[in-house]
Amino acid sequence: MPHVPGRRCPFSALLAACLCLSAGDLYAQEDESQPAEAKSPPVGRPLHRLDSTLLLAGRVNPLGLALRGSFSFQRRLYASGAPAFANNYIGIGINPTLSPAGARLGAFVEFQPLSVLQLTANYEWLGYLGTFDVFQSFAGVTSEYSDDTLDILAARPDGDPGRNYSTSGHEVSLSVLLQAKVGPFAVRNRTRFGWVDMDMREGDRTYWDVSYDLLIGDQGWYMVNEADVFWVSDFGLVAGLRWVASHAFYEDRHYAPGETIGDDPNTPTHRLGPTFAYTFFDNGGRGFFDKPTAFVIVNWWLEHRYRTGAEQSVGLPYMGAGFRFTGDLLTL
């Protein structure tokens, strides 16, 4: 992923859900990102668990850096020793995220009736500091928001406040995770729908979201889908292929006067490429520091308004790297 302080520092989830490393993307979650683990889900899950995950990740194209945490209290729904049913629970938790450009603070509810299915509802407060050119809003859907444009608009000549400013907002999201493992192979798909309400400058209708590299309409919906296919070794290595598709759903009110309603040059976006992760040890979730994992992602942009030749070369990939670990703070 997720640098030295630079232009675009994600808050979330993108990074947290970078790889199939936990059951996680980020922004992940985050990232969010919950990758397939090097070992199968535990059999005979305890009745109660206080689960924690910490993720530090950075990325380029676009630039970003984030530290994301997730802390949840989970209660097993029923006892089962079958792998397809054993990892079941309902849980509530918080998921704070910090970056050089701001912070997120969220609360979520998770429902996992089967090891292969997880449903999550999440609320987050978003805060931007007005640093590193990260938060900029625009008149409409067809406004320019390339990396070079963001740099130019963020310039602050005398008497000009610039386009980059501090603000806050709220986001509500719903996600569905499907995952399965057969022999050494695992598949995973997370679909996330989000609705965002930002306190934006008067007259602006859209803003550039650093986490998902999308121009999103204020009080509007977006979707991100992450699909992974992995080979899982018995010595901690996971290697696979990741495809990420994103889409912003614009309403008529998001178009500025003079723009053609229905014209969407921004989405969908697509990227595809390999992912690698290595888990140094796995104690089955016991203790605060477990399953320490390093990961690398290299995805090439297949469809993007600016990153497939219009501004950046199509040969320049999205690249991310990070480190995460999980822990069980309480088992009852």
**Per-residue model confidence as pLDDT tens digits over 213-231:** 999 999 999 999 999 999 9
Q: Which H helix or E strand runs over 85?
A: helix 83-86
Q: What is the dihedral of CA 85, 87, 89, 95, to 10 degrees?
A: -150
pLDDT in tens, 121-155: 999 999 999 888 789 999 999 999 999 988 888 77
Q: Which H helix or E strand runs over 147?
A: helix 147-153
Q: How far apart are CA 1 and CA 59, in angstroms?
A: 3
Reported pTM: 0.84
Of 31-40, 257-266, 281-290, which gets the smallest average pLDDT? 31-40
pLDDT score recorded for residue 3 = 36
Rounded to 5 degrees, φ, ψ at 153 are -70, -25
pLDDT score recorded for residue 130 = 86
Residue pointed to by tokens 């080979």: 231
From start to end of the chain, where are the E strands? 48-60, 64-75, 89-94, 97-99, 102-114, 117-128, 137-138, 167-182, 185-198, 206-209, 214-217, 220-232, 237-249, 269-279, 287-303, 318-331
pLDDT in tens, 151-177: 888 776 544 556 788 999 999 999 999
Of 4-13, 187-196, 270-279, which gets the smallest average pLDDT? 4-13
pLDDT over 50 at 293, yes or no:
yes
- 44 vs 41, higher pLDDT: 44
Of 6-10, 64-68, 80-84, 193-197, which gets the smallest average pLDDT? 6-10
pLDDT over 80 at 90, yes or no:
yes
pLDDT score recorded for residue 220 = 97
pLDDT over 50 at 31, yes or no:
no
pLDDT score recorded for residue 4 = 34
Q: Hey, what are 302's tokens?
A: 């297949």
Burial of 183 (0-12, 13-18, 19+ CB in 10 A): exposed
